[in-house]
Structure 1
Amino acid sequence: MTSTAPQQSSLDRPFVLDLFAGPGGLDVAAHTLDIPSFGIEWDKSACLTRYAAGLDTLHADVSAVRRDAFESLPPEINVLAGGPPCQTYSVAGHGAGREALEEVEKYIDRLMAGDSDEEIDRDLRKFSNDQRTGLILEPLRYAIQATRSPNRANRPYDVIVLEQVPTVEPVWEQYAKALRDKGLPDGTKYEVAFGVLATETYGVPQTRSRAVLIARRVGLGEPELPPPTHHAYEPKKWNQRNAPAESEVHQPTLDDDSPAPEAAEHPEKTNTDLKPWRSMGDVLHEPVGTRTKRFLVRSNYGSSGHPGRRGVRTDEQPAATVTGRISRFVVFEHLDERIVQEGARFTMNEAGILQSFPPDYPWSGTAQAQQVGNAVPPAFGMHLLGAALGLPVPDTEALHKPWTAATEEQRAKLRSHGCGDADTCTDRCPRAQDQKPPPSSRPRKKKASAD
């Protein structure tokens, strides 16, 4: 049950620094909880979305800010959050990912031992030509830098909140050991909780797993991962319950003019301790969304379904994981997949809703699908921040309310601060060509001969 009690925290005035902030998922979560935030993001289009949404932002490289402009950050910041780029750990535990993990463990030890930034940066350049490998260390480097900041009176962050894809969990485990057992070079230690969570169990209408870490400075209480509020989606049970006869694979289970299913019909309603997971229909059908008819969605990747229906979900199910490929998902407003509507796709606002963004969030710039897919789902972010700060279970229904976009004057002011000019990027902004990581230097395996 959602608490309506006044929000109280172990911190009197939380203020979030969001590294690798993207279009604003964690910031939307923070602001919905009435917590101020400040984001650093180097992608130009994501920054345009953030400015339009009224979010305080630096259009900058996270590493460069730490090296050259850390003292310019608001000194009141006491919560460090972020999700560093994860591509080099997408196969953590195997091959290149395992090698990267072993190297990162060594760098974590060196950072905690107090090695200089110059030495670390020099050796990182030798280790890899892909700077994303070093970016996984940035949250830890920010935590250390806070203890060396005259602007902060050398005050450490009180809370650290990190999230990424499940394969990054071994990295968070190394973070946990370092923060809990070794402590920062100044002696600050943290209590830590980490693990892999399913976002649909927090009211996000899609299946998406994330590796998370929550750390609190010793003396502020031991953190816990947020308790689930919704049932987990179990595709095998769903498919068993809804398996069509072989002759009916292409036949509609409901005609396309059928009304959206009532919540009482949801198969997971039997357990009153948890709410049912949210389906695409829950959030996209009227009056919340804009769709009036039942629909099917075919993603461009599989989802453990029946042969012939691989990658297909109905509006009664949560969406498949929303990634930058969401623009390729085909939406059928007939439950017979043979009836194809040319160009039927989710709008970017609908894709954002599947990520739990407000329905009118002002997506801007280019590559909007990638922005949506890379974002932290705000509903999930509310639960993470709430657990980290000791707040009551958040009311994520607030995310369905209209989002107050920035006025032109506000946008210009935000961009003037974030880019250095009210209307355009400046020399201090990251260059577009620098935002594309170099190709991996790891040789590819040769394909076996067809002979």
Structure 2
Amino acid sequence: MARVGTVVDLFCGAGGLSEGFRQAGFEVLAGSDFDDVAGKTFAATHPEATFVGGRIQELSVKHLLAVTGLKPGELDVLVGGPPCQGYSVYNHNRGVDDPRAGLFREYLRIVKGLRPKWLVMENVSGLTSIADGGIIKEIQAGMHELGYEVDFKILKAEEYGVPQERRRIFFIANRIGAPIRFPLPTHGKDLKPLTTIWDAISDLPKVENGRGEEGQKYAAAPANAYQSELRGNRKTVSNHSAPKLSAVNIERMKHIPSGGSWRDIPFDLLPEGMKKAKRSDHTKRYGRPRKSDLACTILTKCDVHWGAYIHPEQDRALTVREAARLQSFPDGFVFHGSRTEQYVQVGNAVPPLLGRAVADALIACDHSLSAEKAVA
């Protein structure tokens, strides 16, 4: 595939968003992140790019231009997702006073110096409820002041083939007068069928609680196009070991049927803190999803106590590879660090398929990009 444009990824993490752009035909020149372990994953999976570690506050435009070989105004797309924990719907103390809530201003500082043609910034959908939408207004105003037309929309990952319920807000902007359009859904009612949990993980080998080895062979041939695409040419599976859960958790899981949850656990086996819970509370805790379900949002740990992260058939938690499949990461993405750090990298990422849909939307709007792709 011929290159259709260049990308730099700020707050890149393991590189889910840049992977989506790469799949659409873009060349990823650099990624930057404070998390050096995620940086090892990014560097290993983006050998064509330069990883720049360290705090975003200390990242200079001069250094980015040096490592990319670009001049101001030459970069096609600057993408990035400022750390969102300050805004997350899972953070009940979220707000503008959270020190992580101002990192988008660092993104805008880099924009001012790089002058890319396009901007793509993503974040959690909860951003809309902070300060009566004040953060969104500030982001838009900041982009306008730098000469960009901007729009935003909340996208549903499952509508683009990702086997997971995930909502993300995307800001798309450009300074070249091109129209701004968001990707049209490809999956759902009257479209392609949604990709289910079992569509995503059924070919992976069985592993026992607390067990698993690198280099296991797949359990079966690819059962569908999703598995074929994510497997590529790989013959063995990485990052596929199950965290060791306690004996009491294993006993709890034995009582949870497909589609069940904590409500199916005998009262005397419930954690003490849940014995006082109302039946309407904690709806995802100790959830065992049906094979035909979408996954719940993949967070930075697949803890069965906090969500529906029990394997549909086996009495164990989801592995990092299963979480990565539910995020649409190719199996060639080998996550570095401890298993805890690997879960964080997967959960923090933009699903590559969602990133690819956004990238394709940019190509469709920008004639200079789409012309190159047509030649390819």
Q: So what's the TM-score if we normalise by structure 2?
A: 0.67
Aligned pair in 2 of structure 1 residues 70, 360: CA closer, same or farther (>3 Å)?
Answer: closer
1:297·1:330 contact (CA, 8 Å) conserved in 2? no
Q: In the aligned structure 1, how far is the partner of 2:123 from the partner of 2:261?
A: 22
Give the fraction of aligned pairs with identical amino acids, expressed as a percent.
32
The answer as to 2:363 corresponding to 1:389 is: yes
1:229·1:275 contact (CA, 8 Å) conserved in 2? yes
Q: In the aligned structure 1, how far is the partner of 2:54 from the partner of 2:113?
A: 17
Aligned pair in 2 of structure 1 residues 359, 131: CA closer, same or farther (>3 Å)?
Answer: same
Partner amino acid for 1:165?
Answer: V
2:104·2:139 contact (CA, 8 Å) conserved in 1? no
Give the C-alpha shift of residue 73 in structure 1. 4.0
Give the C-alpha shift of residue 162 in structure 1. 0.8
SS at match of 1:276: coil
Partner amino acid for 2:293?
Answer: Q
- Which residue of structure 1 lines up, in the alignment, with residue 127 of structure 2? 168
Query: Residues 353-384 of structure 1: CA distance to partner in whole angstroms, max 9, x if unpaired?
Result: 10000123211112111111001100000011
1:298·1:330 contact (CA, 8 Å) conserved in 2? no
Gaps of 5+ in 1: 1-5, 101-127, 147-155, 232-270, 335-340, 393-451
Q: In the aligned structure 1, how far is the partner of 2:281 from the partner of 2:185?
A: 25
Q: CA RMSD in A?
A: 3.4
Q: In the aligned structure 1, how far is the partner of 2:193 from the partner of 2:344?
A: 29
- Which residue of structure 2 lines up, in the alignment, with residue 229 of structure 1? 186
Aligned pair in 2 of structure 1 residues 131, 73: CA closer, same or farther (>3 Å)?
Answer: farther
Q: In the aligned structure 2, how far is the partner of 1:53 from the partner of 1:83?
A: 19
- Which residue of structure 2 lines up, in the alignment, with residue 35 of structure 1? 26
2:81 alignment partner, one of 80, 83, 89 = 83
Partner amino acid for 1:357?
Answer: F
1:161·1:385 contact (CA, 8 Å) conserved in 2? no
Query: Residues 294-323 of structure 1: CA distance to partner in whole angstroms, max 9, x if unpaired?
Result: x9477899xx99989974421101100001
SS at match of 2:79: strand
Equivalent runs, 1:326-337 vs 2, <5 Å: 326=302, 328=304, 329-333=309-313
- Which residue of structure 2 lines up, in the alignment, with residue 280 of structure 1? 197
Give the C-alpha shift of residue 34 in structure 1. 2.2
Count of paired positions: 284
SS at match of 2:163: coil
Aligned pair in 2 of structure 1 residues 299, 173: CA closer, same or farther (>3 Å)?
Answer: farther
Aligned pair in 2 of structure 1 residues 133, 68: CA closer, same or farther (>3 Å)?
Answer: farther
Q: In the aligned structure 1, how far is the partner of 2:84 from the partner of 2:363?
A: 26
Q: Which has the larger radius of gyration?
A: 1
2:350 alignment partner, one of 376, 395, 408 = 376
Partner amino acid for 1:285?
Answer: S
1:350·1:359 contact (CA, 8 Å) conserved in 2? no
- Which residue of structure 2 lines up, in the alignment, with residue 137 of structure 1? 105
- Which residue of structure 2 lines up, in the alignment, with residue 65 of structure 1? 59
Give the C-alpha shift of residue 81 in structure 1. 0.7
- Which residue of structure 2 lines up, in the alignment, with residue 201 of structure 1? 159
Q: In the aligned structure 1, how far is the partner of 2:122 from the partner of 2:41?
A: 21
Partner amino acid for 2:139?
Answer: Y
Equivalent runs, 1:168-317 vs 2, <5 Å: 168-169=127-128, 170=133, 171-180=135-144, 183-184=145-146, 188=147, 190-219=148-177, 221-231=178-188, 271-272=189-190, 274-286=191-203, 287-288=221-222, 296=258, 311-317=287-293
